[in-house]
Amino acid sequence: MKGIILAGGTGSRLYPVTKAINKHLLHLYNKPLIYYSLSVLFLSKIKKILIIVNRNDYNQFYQLLGDGKKFGVNFEYAFQDEPNGIAEAFIIGKKFIGDDSTCLVLGDNIFFGQGFLDKLINAKKNIKKIKNSSTIFAYKVNNPKEYGIVEFDNKNKAIRISEKPKNPKSNFAITGLYFYSNCVTKKINKIKKSKRNELEISDVNKIYLKENKLYVEDFGRGFGWFDAGTFNGLKNASSYIEMIEKRQNLMIGCLEEIACRNKWITKEQLMKIGLKHKNSEYGKYLIDISKKI
């Protein structure tokens, strides 16, 4: 399986801050925002990752992340020159995906909670086990009229998808995390641009739904999901991450730690990175955690 992070866009909801910097490079508490979405792919043990960015922001992303070797993975970059929708990722990334299945995660979504790793593993297994299937992730919200909503049965099979429904029959919002079988690169050719002049990811999901191959993982009670694409989202997610990290003395979205636990880099390499940045709290954490892994 390969991973794709969509980190382009104009960040219009965060103007004027994003006039000079891509929103995915903004800090969310103590790490760049994109670290958190990358950590989802790392936890899924996906090592080949395509990062889709604006052409003008490429140098900044590469300066931050490089080619991935320092994490024991491989990063490739591609460009989304116009805001043509989330689903365009499968057109841009078609060659990268090749014959593999793929996991798409939006660069401004934050996920954290008990059992998350198990849900990621289940989603990967389902894609392997059920031919031409897909899995989306749902989160219960109290304002379903503001989201894309999914209804599903007791076997976690999707029944209906509604985009910002006036009379929602479900409180489960569709989050920015999707697992797709390889046929997604063909299904993308079946959809047309919406009234917003975008290729909508919901239209891709509806194709799987019609084929009875769309499954849902419910994050459940106590889980944390944030859309950090707004000022309130950034603030709330930062406060949440800060609270969890200070109480548990463990970092969320620490790429080097996950890479070491995955045995992609050694404890010695982890220590070396920590020593290089020993004047920062992040570096001190890497030094400390390298002694405990």
* pTM for the full predicted model: 0.95
Q: Where are the alpha helices (DSSP H) in 18-108?
A: 33-43, 58-65, 89-92, 94-97
Gap between the Cα atoms of 160 and 216, Å rounded: 11
Looking at residues 137-144, what average pLDDT do you find? Answer: 94
Q: Specify the pLDDT at position 25.
A: 95
Mean per-residue pLDDT, 23-46: 97
172-180 vs 134-140, strand pairing mode: antiparallel
Q: For residue 83, is pLDDT > 90?
A: no
Q: Residue 136's pLDDT is what?
A: 98
CB 181 within 8 Å of CB 167: no
At residue 17 the predicted structure's pLDDT band, cuts being 50, 70 and 90, is confident
CATH number of 2-248: 3.90.550.10
Give per-residue pLDDT as tens, 66-78: 999 999 999 999 9
Residue 181 — φ and ψ, nearest 5°? -70, 170
Angle between helix axes 116-129 and 33-43 (nearest 10 degrees) is: 60
pLDDT exceeds 90 at position 281? yes
Read off the amino acid at residue 240.
Y
pLDDT-based confidence at residue 127 (cuts at 50, 70, 90):
very high
Distance CA 259, CA 293 (A): 11
Q: What is the mean pLDDT of the chain?
A: 95
- Give tens-digit pLDDT for 146-156: 999 999 999 99
Q: How far apart are the first and last CA of the chain?
A: 26
Confidence of residue 222 (pLDDT cuts 50, 70, 90): confident
Residue 11 pLDDT class (50, 70, 90 cuts): confident
Rounded Cα gap, residues 144 and 104, in angstroms? 23
Residue-wise pLDDT for 168-183, tens only, equals 889 999 999 999 999 9
The total of other beta-carbon atoms located within 10 Å of residue 53's CB is 25
- 3: which residues sit within 8 A by CB, 6+ positions away? 41, 44, 46, 48, 49, 50, 102, 103, 104, 105
Given a cut of 80, whether residue 188 has pLDDT beyond it is yes
Listed range (7-16, 190-199, 245-254) with the worst mean pLDDT: 7-16
- pLDDT tier at 14 (50, 70, 90 boundaries)? confident
What local confidence, expressed as pLDDT, does residue 10 receive? 75
At residue 182, the pLDDT reads 95
Instruction: Indicate where the chain has its CATH 3.90.550.10 domain(s).
Output: 2-248
Stretch (H or E) spanning 221: none
Share of the chain above pLDDT 70, in %: 100
The pLDDT assigned to 256 comes to 98
Confidence grade of residue 48 (pLDDT, cut at 50, 70, 90): very high
Query: Mean pLDDT across the stretch 91-115?
Result: 96
C-alpha 48/C-alpha 268 separation (Å) is 23
Coil, strand, or helix at residue 27? strand
Give residue 19's pLDDT. 87
